[in-house]
Amino acid sequence: MEIKKAHLTDLRAIAELNFNGFKDYELFKIGAKPAKFTKALYELLKLNAAVSIKAGYSYVCYDAGKLIGYFSLIPAGQELDGPAFLKAGAWKIPLITNFKTSRQLLGHVLKAEAILNPFPKDYWYLDTLVVAPGNQGSGYGSRILQAVKDLVIKNHGRKLRLITNATRNRDFYTKNAFINDAIILPTDNNSNFTTWSFYFDVK
């Protein structure tokens, strides 16, 4: 498996990979009509990838010339902010998608990310990790996750953190030695999904 920095020329392939990996994700179940949901989720995932690529935080994973995975790893203290998203075209989202649907998706993301608020911002953040649906269950996820840990170690990071909203992902990160230190249940934030926070000490 080869892992390399992503470039904007990879954006379309990354957006398609992310959409296929996340279209059934619990976080994004909002009950919107399929056409509106597909367009809004695709564009929002594409925007997030574009911002991460421009910041130098995105990586693509290939095996035998095939794109099998993607991850976005944000260094400690380097959060992606509003201006970065606006510069990457966030202002276009209401014009090219259904505004209500996009707002619902973003609302879910913000509710999930609220689980991180109590923690000191001293961690590297695994914003996205996705393995192509056809390659899941083949060990790629664990191999990519080890590469993520190695990157943090190489850059003298001490803690790696992530959040997830899927039971299968919760079990995956637990298997890979991550520790669950917070959970938000649906009843805690008026949502229909659960959010788990995980961390891994790399020091």
pLDDT digits (tens, 9 = 90+) for 154-174: 999 999 999 999 999 999 999
Range of the domain at 21: 2-201
Output the average pLDDT for the chain.
93
Percent of the chain with pLDDT over 90: 82
The more confident residue out of 135 and 4 is: 4
Pairwise CA distance, residues 147 & 162, whole Å: 15
pLDDT at residue 49 greater than cutoff 80: yes
pLDDT at residue 83 greater than cutoff 80: no
Pairwise CA distance, residues 138 & 131, whole Å: 10
- Tokens, residue 14: 């990354």
For residues 176-198, one letter each, b for 16 or more C-beta atoms within 10 angstroms of the residue's C-beta and e for the rest, the string is eebeeeeebeeeeeebebbbbbb
Pairwise CA distance, residues 147 & 49, whole Å: 19
**Nearest alpha carbon to residue 123 among 79, 162, 81, 76:** 76
**Nearest alpha carbon to residue 98 among 190, 53, 31, 49:** 31
Provide the domain count of the chain.
1
pLDDT digits (tens, 9 = 90+) for 168-201: 999 999 999 999 999 999 988 788 999 999 999 9
pLDDT at residue 71 greater than cutoff 90: yes
Which pLDDT score is estimated for 108?
93
Please compute the mean of the pLDDT values over residues 55-64 and round it to a whole number: 96
- Tell me if 73 sits within 8 A of 152, measured CB to CB: yes
pLDDT at residue 5 greater than cutoff 80: yes
Residue 113: phi and psi, rounded to 5, are -70, -15
pLDDT digits (tens, 9 = 90+) for 119-149: 999 999 999 999 999 888 889 999 999 999 9
| CATH, residue 161 | 3.40.630.30
Pairwise CA distance, residues 161 & 100, whole Å: 31
The more confident residue out of 98 and 6 is: 6
Pairwise CA distance, residues 72 & 29, whole Å: 22
> Could you give the residue ranges of the DSSP H alpha helices within 71-119?
82-87, 93-96, 99-113
The more confident residue out of 79 and 25 is: 25
Pairwise CA distance, residues 43 & 148, whole Å: 26
